Structure formats: structure tokens, C-alpha cells
Chains A and B, each alone.
Chain A
Amino acid sequence: MNNIIYNLVLGMSLIFIQALFLNNINFLEFLNPFIYIYIIIYFPIKNNRPVFILTSFIYGLLMDLFSDTHGIHSASTLCIAYFRPYLLKLFFGMAYEHQVVKFNSLELKQNIFYLFSMVIIHHIILFSLEVFDLSKINLIFQNVISNSIFTFLSVFILYEFLMRKS
């Protein structure tokens, strides 16, 4: 019960921080960190997949409402929520199958690979839906690569803050 409230509060505050402050950073005119996906990446592992997928979709839809985009955040949060178990299996292997992965004690190398691939998937879907024009594929790639580095760093710092304190 405690855990649910903690995650609810964390999720809502991440959305507010994202919408009111981080979307306005615009470093070098187009760089923004999308840290709101932190909660989808590091949500405690449970076996209730349909609920997790549905909540992630609604979470993305809220972000869409705030930032005047049309289904792009919901599509990308939905995709990372769906692909998460496969990536976990890929990077943590046996430990994940036996359900002994704890997010607050991950090995650095595995954690970096896992986090980076989640961020890349999210950003590829986000920006290709946002631009929605195959002739501008250069613009998509430029946005994906530069923004995912930015997002990766900020989510990683947030992880160190929230998970490593205990």
C-alpha cells in the first residue's frame, strides 16, 4: 500500500516537473530531457502486465494533454511498457527469470545498457510520430540521438538519487 502511494506521488510530480519546467529548457533550441519516463523504467517488477501497460498508456496520455501533442507520448510510453519484460530478460537473464532482480541494487553495466535501450526506443517512437514525415528522417535521427543522451543522463542521475539512498 505504501509503495502504491509512493509511486503515485512520484509519477504525478514527475509529470508536473516535466510539463512546467523541463519542457521549457530547450537547450540549443531543441534539447529537452524527458525524465518522466523514469517511473516506467524503474517501476518495481510485478507480474501484472495488462494493468502496467494500461497505466503507462494513461500516464503518457496525461503528458500529451499537458504538452499539446497528439498521442505521441502515449504511444511511446505504451511501447516501452510493453517491451520492458523482453529487455529485462535480455539484460538480466537468469536473475530476471527467477525474479530476484532488485532495481535498487543493479550492476552498473547492466543498468546502463537497460536504461539506454529503453530511452532509445522511447525517443525513436516519440520523434518519428512527432515529425511524421519520412522525408525528414535526418531531423528525426538528429533529435533522437541528441535528446536520448540528455534524457539518459538525467534519468541516471535521478536513479542514483532515489534508489541509491537506501
Chain B
Amino acid sequence: MQRIIYFLIRNKNFILFLMLLSISISLNISYNEYNKSKFINSSNFIFSSLYNTKYTVSKYLNLEYQNKLLLEENKNLKQILFNSKTNFRINEKIDSMDFEIITGSVIKNSYSKSNNFITIDRGSSDGIGIDNGVISSNGVVGIIDKTTTNFSRFISVLNTKFLLNAKFKNSNYFGVLSWNGKSINQVQLKDVPKQAKVKIGDTIVTGGNSLIFPKGILIGYIKSFKLDNSENYLELEVSLSTDMTNIENIYIIGNNNVTEINLLNE
């Protein structure tokens, strides 16, 4: 007994080191396994208010570019509105909405890591829930994974854990969108059947198989394609339509039918 205690005292540094190391590695592993981190994230109050303060100062530097983006988007929407054959008015009130849209701003962006998360200044008090989709003016950017009262955090498209159902705009072949962690403006679309007719420059949009995004939101354009290792499926390189390094104004999409559809699956 005495020897054991003596041994422990002599090696106390090493034991302390191993203990702390196992804590931090288990944090990392539990994150990698469950795709959800419970303890450590910057959507908690102290850190998000700090980032929010920084954002209120630095947002003025980017106003011109962001205004241009919004103006361009408005122009496109107006174009669709004025040229549509059915006549609906702008101020028309819609009775039943399948998808609800909330606007927000990014207060902390990140894109240089292999698992990127982005914090925004809207939270559960604004009606944001987990698994809501996030888009910018130019296309898909991520999926909400954690919310607090006033802030929330979403998994960026540039995260190796991000998976999304996506399809071709002009045909119904679909595949799984993910990111390999290499280039910040290219993501990969896998498991596309090789019968699909692929042209470089074709548009990739969201598939609508998931409940997260409505069908047909822009993701990006095909840059190159090749057969994968099994030789049965195509693997496509898709260049993102959104510039992930410069996003500020975003829309959060909530699906009102989620609970009803989930009842079917129980």
C-alpha cells in the first residue's frame, strides 16, 4: 500500500497529465461521434455577446458589398414577380405557410478549419429551432445545430460532418453533398448514378428529400466529375455559389410541417 502511494506521489505530474489529456480527447471524440457538442461552443451568453460587440463595430466596414448583394437579390425577385403570369400582389397575406423565413446576421464566421461553425444573432426567442436551414442571398450555407435564447450556431457547408441531399436542376438525379476539407469554395456531390447526364457548369440545387430546405435552392455549379472507386457512381466537384468567406445577411428557414411529418415516421 505504501509503495503504491509512493509511486503515485512520485509520478503525480504524469498522472495529472494523463487525466487532463483524457478529458480533452474525450471532449474531441464525443464531438466527433455525436456531431453535437454539449459543453463547449460559442453560442453561450458571454462569448456571443463579446462577438456581438465586435460585430457591431466591424459591420460598417462591409456595408457596401452587402448592400450590393441584397439589391441584386431584390432585383431578381422583382423580375420574377413582375413577369409572372399569375397575378398576386406584394402585400398579399399568405394564410398557411409551409416554410417560415427569419432574417439574421452572422456575428462570427469561420472557414479555415476542417469543422466550421458560424454564430448568428438570432435565437430561440426569435423562433429559431434546431435543424432549421440557413441560406444567404446566393444559396445554401448551413443547418442550425444549437440555439440559446438570443443566439444560435449553425454547421457551415464547410464542415466535414455536413451532409445534404442535393439534385440536378434540370433532371431528378440526386446525390449526397459533403465537404472533404480541402478547398473552401468546392464541395463534393457523391453517390450520383452514372446514368445521369452531367455537363460542366450545370446547376446543383437542394433536393427536397429532407425536411430542412425547400426544393430547388441554389447550391453551386458543377466544376468537374469522375467515377468513384466502386465505378458505379459519379463523384462531382461542385463550386459553391456563395462566397463563404464573406457572408453577413442570412435567412433562416423553418419548416412548419416537421412535427406532422415526423409523426408518420414514429
Given contacts A50-B16, A132-B32, contact A68 B24 (CB under 8 A): no
Q: Which of B12, B24, B54, B113 contacts A75 (CB 8 A)?
A: B24
Contact mask for chain B residues 195-215; partner A; CB cutoff 8 A; 1 contact, 0 none: 000000000000000000000
Shortest C-beta distance, A89 to chain B (Å), equals 14
Cβ of A54 within 8 Å of any chain B Cβ, yes or no, is yes
The residues of B that contact A131 with a CB separation of less than 8 Å are 114, 181
The residues of A that contact B181 with a CB separation of less than 8 Å are 131, 136, 139
Shortest C-beta distance, B119 to chain A (Å), equals 8
Q: Which of B42, B114, B181 has the most CB of A within 10 A?
A: B114
Shortest C-beta distance, B32 to chain A (Å), equals 6
The residues of B that contact A60 with a CB separation of less than 8 Å are 24
A-facing residues in B90-149 (Cβ within 8 Å): 109-115, 117, 119
Shortest C-beta distance, B19 to chain A (Å), equals 10
Q: Which of A32, A57, A71, A136 contacts B112 (CB 8 A)?
A: A32
Bound-complex Cα distance A12 to B189 (A): 43
Q: Which of A53, A67, A71, A139 contacts B13 (CB 8 A)?
A: A53
Cβ of B190 within 8 Å of any chain A Cβ, yes or no, is no
Bound-complex Cα distance A66 to B26 (A): 19
Interface residues on B, range: 35 or more
Given contacts A66-B47, A68-B110, contact A130 B24 (CB under 8 A): no
Task: Flag if B112 contacts A65 (CB, 8 Å).
Answer: no
Cβ of A82 within 8 Å of any chain B Cβ, yes or no, is yes
Interface residues on A, range: 35 or more
Given contacts A26-B245, A50-B12, contact A132 B21 (CB under 8 A): no
Cβ of A158 within 8 Å of any chain B Cβ, yes or no, is no
Task: Flag if A50 contacts B28 (CB, 8 Å).
Answer: no
The residues of B that contact A13 with a CB separation of less than 8 Å are none
Task: Flag if B20 contacts A129 (CB, 8 Å).
Answer: no
Q: Which of B13, B16, B113, B183 contacts A69 (CB 8 A)?
A: B113
Contact mask for chain A residues 98-140; partner B; CB cutoff 8 A; 1 contact, 0 none: 0000000000000000000000000000000111110010010
Task: Flag if B114 contacts A75 (CB, 8 Å).
Answer: no
The residues of B that contact A7 with a CB separation of less than 8 Å are none
Closest to A28 in B: B112
Task: Flag if A53 contacts B112 (CB, 8 Å).
Answer: no
Bound-complex Cα distance A165 to B95 (A): 71
Cβ of B77 within 8 Å of any chain A Cβ, yes or no, is no
Further contacts, 7 of them, CB under 8 A, given A31-B112, A32-B112, A75-B25? A53-B17, A61-B24, A67-B42, A68-B117, A71-B28, A131-B181, A133-B160
Interface of A toward B, CB cutoff 8 Å: 20, 23-24, 26, 29-32, 49-50, 53-54, 57, 60-61, 64-72, 74-75, 78-79, 82, 129-133, 136, 139
Interface of B toward A, CB cutoff 8 Å: 12-13, 16-17, 20-21, 23-28, 30-32, 37, 40-42, 44, 47, 50, 54, 109-115, 117, 119, 153, 160, 180-184, 245
- List 14 A–B pairs whose Cβ atoms lie within 8 Å, in order of A's numbering: A24-B109, A49-B13, A50-B12, A54-B20, A64-B40, A67-B42, A68-B119, A69-B40, A69-B115, A70-B37, A71-B25, A74-B20, A74-B24, A78-B17
